[in-house]
Amino acid sequence: MTSKATIPGDAQSPVGASLLAKASSQAISSLNDTAQSRADSRLQVSGPTLDFADISLTLGRTTILDHVTFQVRPGSVHALVGPNGGGKSSLIKTLLGQMPHQGRLSLQWPGEPGTIGYVPQALEFDRGLPMTVDDFMAAMCQRRPAFLGLSKHYAKAIGDALERVGMQDKRKRRMGALSGGERQRVLLAQGLIPAPQLLVLDEPMSALDEAGIRVFERLLDDWRAAGITVLWIEHDLEAVGRLADHVTGLNRRVLFDATPRQALTPDRLLSLFSTHPRSAA
């Protein structure tokens, strides 16, 4: 059984609404060799197919997204790359139901609609706020006020998530006392609760140190093995070339959409990062 949800362009969808709650609180034959063997090792796909069809977004008199069309295959690690201001975060916000848009955006789940995890681009944080890592996780993950403390169920889930990102021993630290990389790990951890079938990651590697990058790469392996669909905005093109199954280049419009090996060629990258991109591929 499959199920399909279309994200309306003019309203906050149920999918978007539940994500907002959390936020305040992504042809096998064309995969490169590495991606093919990764796909073969996958047990089953639990994540949805994402269809961005002719998505446009205009804010004021500025065109942010111009007829963006591409598909994210179920269970794939799909990277979104492009210059600053190219519209990557805005595209994700349309998916989350946070931006009005034109066009058709749909999710096709392999069964019942699943859970969507979201790791935002950066955390604006008041360093003086007396909020511990546990408090932050409680506020992001559970549906009761943080001052009531952690419920048993969530205490375990939060402990497990913090363990996965190597932050278990810093649960009692104030968020403001963490390094940028440590805060980024906590942001990753909150995206794991409840266990998602679609993960939307907005520059999850920014600020991560080398150990943090290894943690992130392990998580990516786990998500791939679990058949989770991952839509991943990333500036590190070397990491995208090594870790993604597919990559879409976006600078207001789609400039390429292919495997990393096909897409990340000097010519295409020059076009992607030029001020006046000329050709779409």
Contacting residues toward Mg ion, per CB under 5 A? 89, 121
The only residue of 13, 26, 76, 89 in contact with ligand ATP, by rule CB under 6 A: 89
211 binds, among Mg ion, ligand ATP, none (CB under 5 to 8 A by kind): none
Closest distance to ligand ATP from the beta carbon of 201 (Å): 12
Phi/psi at 82 (nearest 5 deg)? 160, 170
**CB closer to ligand ATP out of 66 and 160:** 66
Closer CB to Mg ion, 121 or 262, in the complex:
121
Query: Which residue number, 87 or 212, has a Cβ lying nearer to ligand ATP?
Result: 87
Judged by CB under 6 A, the residue of 87, 103, 110, 196 near ligand ATP is: 87
Contact between 59 and ligand ATP by CB under 6 A: the answer reads yes
Q: What are phi and psi of 66, to 5 degrees?
A: -125, 95
> Which residue shows structure tokens 């069809």?
53
* Smallest distance, ligand ATP to C-beta of residue 191, A: 18
Which span sits near ligand ATP by CB under 6 A: 25-33, 80-88, 127-135, 220-228?
80-88
Report how far residue 274's alpha carbon sits from residue 251's, in angstroms, rounded to the nearest whole number: 9
By CB under 6 A, residue 94 contacts ligand ATP: no
Q: How far is the CB of 263 from ligand ATP (least distance, A)?
A: 17
The angle, 0 to 180 degrees and rounded to 10, between the axes of the packed helices 180-190 and 133-141 is 30
By beta-carbon proximity to ligand ATP, the closer residue of 71 and 90 is 90
Our CB check for Mg ion shows the closer of 72 and 161 to be: 72
The smaller minimum CB distance to Mg ion, of residues 106 and 121, is found at 121
What does the DSSP 8-state code read for residue 178? Answer: S
Q: Write the DSSP assignment of 36-104 as a string of letters.
A: HHHHHT-----SPEEEEEEEEEEETTEEEEEEEEEEE-TT-EEEEE--TTSSHHHHHHHHTT-S--EEE
Nearer to ligand ATP, 89 or 259 (CB): 89
Out of 46, 76, 90, 142, the residue judged to bind ligand ATP by CB under 6 A? 90
* 84 interacts with ligand ATP by CB under 6 A: yes
64 binds ligand ATP (CB under 6 A): yes
CA separation (Å) from 201 to 80, 204, 220, 231, 239? 10, 6, 11, 6, 14
CB 193 within 8 A of CB 141: yes
The H or E element that residue 254 is part of is strand 253-258
- Residue 82, binding choice from ligand ATP, Mg ion, none, Cβ under 5 to 8 Å by partner class: ligand ATP
The token duo for 246 is 């597919």
Please, what is the end-to-end C-alpha distance for the chain in angstroms?
34
Helices 152-164 + 180-190 axis angle, to 10:
130
CB of residue 101 to ligand ATP, shortest distance in Å: 12
Distance CA(212)–CA(230), nearest Å, equals 18
Least Å from the CB of residue 131 to ligand ATP? 25
Residue nearest to Mg ion (CB): 89
Q: Applying CB under 6 A, which residues contact ligand ATP?
A: 59, 64, 82, 84-90, 121
